[in-house]
Structure 1
Amino acid sequence: MPGLLLPLTRAVTYTRWLHMLVGAIVPLACAMVYPGLSHPSPHDWLLIAVLPLPLALAAGLVPSVRYAEGLQARLMLFPGPHARVRNDEDPGVSTVFSASWTDRARTGAWLVLRLEAGIALALVTNTLLTLTLSLAGEPGLADPLPYVSGAGWIYALLAPVPVLVLVLVAAGAGALMARAARRLLGPSVTERLAELEKRTEQLLERNEIARELHDTLGHALTLAVVQAGAARAAGDPDFTDRALEAIEETGRSALEDLDRVLLVLRETGQPAGARPALDEASRLLDSARSSGAQVDAEVTGPLEDLPGPVSREAYRMLQEALTNVLRHAGPVPVGVRIGVESAQLRLDVRNPLPVQVSGAAGGGGRGLRGIRERAALLGGEAHAGPDGGHWLLHVDLPLR
């Protein structure tokens, strides 16, 4: 029994009831013109239910009507801030303009359903409320009940029953209308595809930001740790000064990159700062040298003529490669080869393989996985693994 009475305590029961009664306004307004509301016959009620249908179908052709109906349905047919029981689940009702004839047809069907359900619930509401007043002995009403001498108190006790039945009917009809709204006002296939594409773009953007933070902060922290350790081991004031200067420069560069990434995350609408490109690779090589690594770099071809996306992603790949060398092998000799050909950019980073992983197969953590993902997004390939006593990272990126 408590479960049966639960709809009485839910605000959404009454907002659904009101939503359906509003749908009866148009049929009743048309009925005032024809055939009239003075003692209507069953035939008149049939006309009242049928005559507004062309108007509803015509309104469904207007693109903005679907938007308005979607807003009303979301507000009044589903639990929300106005409900006792909060429900943060998406109701599955669109609030966009009709974009196709299928959307217009579904909107028209929804309007027809709303008119018919509204007039039906209005008749039930009027009948049951009239019965309640009759049971309560309200004067001036036609009493449909049989006269029983001395039974007025029994009728008075039964007066709440029609109201309870009316609320339960309204609750059931409201639940059915909510299900119908999901079907007729729910997102179309085109809208679902657009939403899926939007979510995919957001995931790609989040992954890109994660890679940016990993590469930038990981590189800066690795250089700082290596340089600080080397300065402490050297015990040379001049070397310590150079190491501190390098740490300061690396930290300043990392803060600039961090500010740029945070600017994108805040979505202020302002353009993010320019990302470093491969023609600035000398900055990375100098940072690695300042950490004690012996970097032998060879560059062939014009780096400044590379396409923007290729140049920027290649910079991050080189940054991650040098970070991995310093993190896993320390300040060792490093060979860097950057070659620009007619239709391809080749990047090789080679360093002595640490003894503890000399027999390991090419695996990789987040850094190498990020390099492979960057290369794949550009239509290229990246491979990393042991090569004759060395660890070799090889990247091929197409320029077209």
Structure 2
Amino acid sequence: MRALLSPLTRAVTYTRWLHLILGGTAAVICGMVFPGLDYLWELQTLWALAVPVPLAFLAAMVPGMRLAEGLQARLMLLPGPHARHPGGGGAAISAAPSSSWQDRWRTAGWLVVRIEAGACVMTLSIVLPSLSLSLLNAALGGGRDLGSAVPVTGDHWWYAPLAVLPLAVLAALVVGAGAGLTTAARHLLGPSAAERLAELEERNERLLERGRLARELHDSIGHALTAAVVQSGAARASGSPEFTGRALVAIEETARDALEDLERVLRLLREGTPGPGSRPGLADTGRLLDSARAAGATVRPEVTADLAALPGPVSREGYRIVQEALTNVLRHAGPVAVSLRITARDGALELDIRNALPCPAAPSGVPGSGLRGIRERAALLGGEAESGPWGDRWRVYARLPLGVAAADARAAARAEAGG
């Protein structure tokens, strides 16, 4: 019994009922005009169901009709938090204008289903309660003229328990018709193949964005912690108050930069609005070099490219590549000599980072934890990166295109959108 009555306690049952009644209003009005309520069961009443059909097809040709119907269906057939966000991903009912003839024909089919089903439910919503009143009136002797659309003859007492049946039929009709209309809405107003593809692409972009944010945290926080560990160890071993003071200042600056990066990434996660202008670029490489020098490394930069004129995506990804390379140097080779060359030639930016190994035969001097991230960043812009031994040194080399070819432009736009 509880399973039978539970649908009647849900708000969605009544919002679906209202949606059906609103949809059938046009057909019922036509029926009231001709032949009228007195001839409700006559065959000529069927014309009232046919009149709105051509109008529904004409209305469905307007692209915005699908958007309006989709929003109504979401709000009234599937009430919930998702229904109040037209662009909500994964919704069973689409809320977007028609973008193809297939969308228009599906919208037309939906309007016809809604009008016809709504007219039937609206009519029975009047007739069935009226029949119950007539039965009760007849059971009490039939002394009152209720003007019922369905009169009942006789005055038998057993009409009283029968009066419950029309209401039970109406309740079952409302629940069943609402569920059926919702199923029809999912099929006729559901996302098209193009919309499903766009949703999958959007989901893929969100996954890529999460991966990019994870890389950002790895590069920034990893560099800060590595530099702090190396600097604090060098300060303890030096025994020089002057060196210790410089190391503490460098640790403070590195930690402050890492906190700024962390706050930016957390803001992206909270708001979902990328801010590429807040990310550091190659023009900010000086703070990376200062951090490495404070850790005891000897860094010799050679910059011949105009860093201020570099495209934003190239500058930002280049900064992260240099940061990861220097982090690997400090983590795996320690405070050794490092050379950094940044040049622009043949339509590409070249980054060349080399460092001395503590021992040519020592595998621990070979960095490797962030090399995959360096290759991914270069590939994102249509470039390439490689790393490996170079004589008695370890070399990280990256080439990032600066051209405006179609593929490079798309890659740059993708990197820009990634934040």
Q: Could you tell me the TM-score, scaled by structure 1's length? A: 0.84
For the Cα contact (< 8 Å) 1:260–1:273, is it kept in 2?
Answer: no
Q: In the alignment, what sits opposite 1:84?
A: none
Q: 1:127 Cα shift?
A: 3.7
Matched, 1:393 2:381: no
- Listed as ranges, the matches of 1:1-400 within 5 Å are 1-80=1-80, 91-138=91-138, 139=142, 140=145, 141=148, 144=152, 152=157, 154-261=158-265, 264-265=268-269, 267=271, 273-299=277-303, 302-352=306-356, 358-359=362-363, 364-365=368-369, 367-386=370-389, 390-400=393-403
Number of aligned residues: 390
CA distance in 2, matches of 1:285, 1:269: 30
Q: Give the direction of change, closer, same or farther, for the CA distance of 1:89–1:198 in structure 2 (3 Å limit).
A: closer
AA aligned opposite 2:255: G
Q: Give the direction of change, closer, same or farther, for the CA distance of 1:190–1:278 in structure 2 (3 Å limit).
A: same
Q: Does the residue aligned with 1:382 lie in a helix, a strand or coil?
A: strand
AA aligned opposite 2:373: G
For the Cα contact (< 8 Å) 1:344–1:398, is it kept in 2?
Answer: yes
Q: Give the direction of change, closer, same or farther, for the CA distance of 1:333–1:392 in structure 2 (3 Å limit).
A: same
For the Cα contact (< 8 Å) 2:34–2:45, is it kept in 1?
Answer: no
CA distance in 2, matches of 1:99, 1:350: 54
CA distance in 2, matches of 1:216, 1:22: 58
For the Cα contact (< 8 Å) 1:263–1:272, is it kept in 2?
Answer: no
Q: Give the direction of change, closer, same or farther, for the CA distance of 1:298–1:220 in structure 2 (3 Å limit).
A: same
Deviates more, 1:337-346 or 1:162-171: 337-346
For the Cα contact (< 8 Å) 1:303–1:340, is it kept in 2?
Answer: no
Q: In the alignment, what sits opposite 2:412?
A: none
Give deviations 1:319-357, integer Å, cap 9, x for gaps: 111112212332123343444321333333333557799
Deviates more, 1:179-188 or 1:54-63: 54-63
For the Cα contact (< 8 Å) 1:7–1:168, is it kept in 2?
Answer: no
Q: Does the residue aligned with 1:136 lie in a helix, a strand or coil?
A: helix
Give deviations 1:77-115, integer Å, cap 9, x for gaps: 12437xxxxxx9954112223333333322222111111
Q: Give the direction of change, closer, same or farther, for the CA distance of 1:355–1:8 in structure 2 (3 Å limit).
A: farther
Q: Any unmatched runs of 5+ in structure 2?
A: 82-87, 404-419
CA distance in 2, matches of 1:137, 1:315: 86
Q: Give the direction of change, closer, same or farther, for the CA distance of 1:137–1:358 in structure 2 (3 Å limit).
A: farther
For the Cα contact (< 8 Å) 1:218–1:323, is it kept in 2?
Answer: yes
Q: Give the direction of change, closer, same or farther, for the CA distance of 1:237–1:226 in structure 2 (3 Å limit).
A: same
Q: 1:312 Cα shift?
A: 2.3
Q: Give the direction of change, closer, same or farther, for the CA distance of 1:239–1:342 in structure 2 (3 Å limit).
A: same
Deviates more, 1:64-73 or 1:110-119: 64-73
CA distance in 2, matches of 1:181, 1:312: 47
Q: Give the direction of change, closer, same or farther, for the CA distance of 1:310–1:270 in structure 2 (3 Å limit).
A: closer
AA aligned opposite 2:190: G
Identical-residue share of aligned pairs (%): 56
Q: Any unmatched runs of 5+ in structure 1?
A: 82-87
CA distance in 1, matches of 2:367, 2:172: 64
Q: Does the residue aligned with 1:340 lie in a helix, a strand or coil?
A: strand
Q: 1:20 Cα shift?
A: 0.8
For the Cα contact (< 8 Å) 2:66–2:96, is it kept in 1?
Answer: yes
CA distance in 2, matches of 1:357, 1:161: 92
